[in-house]
Chain A
Amino acid sequence: MTAKRRSLFTRLSWCWLLLALPLLAHAQLRIEIVDGVEGAMPIAVVPFAWEADGPPPATAISDIISANLYRSGLFAPMEERDMIDRPSRPPEVRFGTWRLQRVDHLLIGRVTDSPDGFGQEIEYHLLDVHSGRVLLSRAQPVGPGDLRLGAHRVSDAVYEALIGIPGAFATRIAYVTVSDLGGEDELFELVVADADGFNPQAIVRNTQPILSPSWSPDGRQLAYVSFATGRSNVVVQDLYTGQNRTVSSDRGINGAPAFSPDGRYLAMSLSRTGSSEIWLLDLQTDRLQQLTNHWSINTEPAFSPDGRAIYFTSDRAGRPQVYAMNLDGTDVRRVTHEGRYNARATIGPDGQRLAVVHGDGNDFRIALHHRDSGQLRVLSNGPLDESPSFAPNGSMILYAARRGEQGILAAVSADGRVRQTLVASAADVREPAWSPLIR
């Protein structure tokens, strides 16, 4: 490329970037429910009374909670217009009315200014309509401007009280969007958004590919692969300070970063020796240790939740399959056997279920492998599904799919019964990664 062409290229990119920026700020994922569960639990989330200073937020807290519960596929929230009563305190509840309307549970509450004058408080009560018992009675503090997060935390508590496992609504997702800048040029953005798709923020923008985002266990950092230099590098970026550090830029591939559950190590696939191998980087001492030593492709490391094993993809038997090994690289054993192509394992929080990309001819779907039975169960419809990522509570698996020529995100419940798609209006969306639970 001559100097003149390069300067034109730079000018063009900036020009389109300027145009695109205001659009991208609104490029929010739209969630569509494809399949829900029959017999979802009927619940009524009554609009919370607004008793705080200033005007109530544009989106009511009860609407956010209802939407969360509905999206889980396990609840059927009542429409607000069908509600006869609007109680906000337990003594105001007339259970008979709700029983007649065939509601099992009732969530009521109110928002007040925080006693310490800093932000607000969501006081809420979860009631069993049949027994009249109060199941939960809590006050959720919210920082200034954090009402959405507060609503997600209330949703988490309700989910846990009724389902028995923690909710994953107050979490975030990372993903990569790709938009056309005209001609050959594309804009790659690494985006972090709330788990319901709101508040999307691009934390990295580049005209070169970005892939494989991976969360640190404290939810503070993202490791990812950047081609910003024209070659693959592994970068770790702090989400709060914006600071980033290139942790691997050797010759060959620097890819597939995965944090250990204690956050101290980063497993990666590096081909500095000539073939791609799994390496372990100690983030405190910068010491690098080679774990695999095999001429095949060894990539996509993933730690078991107890941090004692690393799963990875290798084609040492001819086709890609998932293997496991100890942290020092010993005791390599093959994990998946069913089918010709199993790759990119993501491990459920119980350590027993692995979601993988399962390939059969031209068809690639997300499948769940059960460690105890060795059985593989296909969950998604294909034909080009990839990059599975478990919700931190194990309830759902988020993955990348295709709708026509557009890349979208999709989610399926671990039992395969609930499905939804997350679509951005213009851009291609890919490479989702669900954050850990953030306390």
Chain B
Amino acid sequence: MKSAFRLIALAMLVALLAACARETVPEPAPPEPAPPARPAPAPVETAALDPRDFTDPRNLDNTDSVLYQRVIYFEFDRSTIQSQYEPIVRAHAEYLRANPSARVILEGHTDERGSREYNLGLGERRGNSVYELMTAIGASSRQIEVVSYGEERPVCRQSNEDCWQRNRRTEIVYTAR
């Protein structure tokens, strides 16, 4: 009797595992698909895409455009924007200025070293640095929200400088284009 129950339980577990496994077959992760509601404009109307036109929403998905880049990296325990990342912030600030209905969240992150709550503060400071440069260039403060995740959302999980470098970042996340 007992073993019959075990068999049934085992069968259920296997079924559940199979169901989960089926669902977790990795979908090919495509870049955000274009919203299907908006039909593609007729080719006649399409101006040639200039990757340096930071007011054009199409450049957000154009790998050749600076607007495609959304991550600013920082040095340890620092929140100043290094010069090589300034063009990215400027491009997005110009985009926001030209597209007043666009909205972004600036997600501030840190590496794992040090205490978690202090890192929340540090992550926010990194978000704020980007926020200040963006608003100085003309983006509206109403378009931007800073959210700090501290060390809670690493992109890389090993304990070495290579990984820490990738985790010390501000991500520009569009919630409206």
Contact = CB atoms under 8 A, between A and B. Distances in A.
A183 B124 contact: no
Interface stretch (A13-21, A39-47, A193-201): A13-21
Given A15-B19, A182-B24, A386 B114 contact: yes
Contacts of A252: 124, 146, 148
Nearest to A386: B115
B80 to A, nearest CB: 14
A159 interface: no
Given A300-B118, A344-B118, A402-B159, A271 B124 contact: yes
Interface residues of B, number: 34
A405 B157 contact: yes
Contacts of A343: 114-115, 118
B125 interface: yes
B117 A300 contact: yes
A131 interface: no
A231 interface: yes
Nearest to A344: B115
B122 interface: yes
A231 B152 CA distance: 12
Nearest to B33: A2
Contacts of A15: 16, 19-20, 23
A416 B1 CA distance: 54
Interface string B67-103: 0000000000100000000000000000000000000
Which of A212, A227, A297, A405 has its CB near the most chain B CB atoms (within 10 A)? A297
Interface string A285-318: 0000000000001111000000000000101000
A298 B33 CA distance: 42
Which of B20, B121, B148, B152 has its CB near the most chain A CB atoms (within 10 A)? B121
Interface stretch (A53-61, A78-86, A357-365): A357-365
B20 A16 contact: yes
Contacts of B7: none
A431 B115 CA distance: 10
Interface string B123-143: 011001000000000000000
Contacts, number: 104
Interface in B119-177: 120-122, 124-125, 128, 145-149, 152-153, 157-159, 161
Contacts of A320: 114-115, 118
B147 A209 contact: no
Contacts of A271: 121, 124
B152 A209 contact: yes
Nearest to A357: B115
Given A19-B16, A299-B121, A8 B23 contact: yes
B114 A364 contact: yes
B116 A386 contact: yes
Contact of B113 (A2, A299, A364): A364
A405 B122 CA distance: 23
B39 interface: no
Interface residues of A, number: 48
A276 B128 CA distance: 12
A133 interface: no
A384 B116 contact: no
B62 to A, nearest CB: 21
Contacts of A175: none
Nearest to B146: A252
B117 A313 contact: yes
B28 interface: no
A405 B156 CA distance: 11
A182 B157 CA distance: 15
Given A15-B20, A384-B113, A405-B159, A183 B122 contact: no
Nearest to A210: B152
Given A343-B115, A359-B114, A384-B159, 19 more contacts: A8-B23, A211-B152, A251-B145, A253-B124, A256-B117, A256-B120, A269-B117, A271-B121, A276-B121, A276-B124, A297-B118, A297-B121, A320-B118, A343-B118, A359-B113, A362-B113, A362-B161, A384-B112, A405-B159
13 contacts: A12-B23, A12-B24, A253-B120, A256-B120, A269-B117, A276-B124, A320-B118, A343-B114, A364-B114, A383-B159, A384-B112, A384-B113, A386-B115
- The 10 A-B residue pairs whose C-beta atoms are closest, nearest first, are A297-B121, A209-B152, A344-B115, A256-B117, A343-B115, A276-B121, A15-B20, A299-B117, A300-B117, A357-B115
Interface of A: 2, 8, 11-12, 15-16, 18-19, 182-183, 209, 211-212, 227, 230-232, 251-253, 255-256, 269, 271, 274, 276, 297-300, 313, 315, 319-320, 341, 343-344, 357, 359, 362, 364, 383-384, 386-387, 402, 405, 431
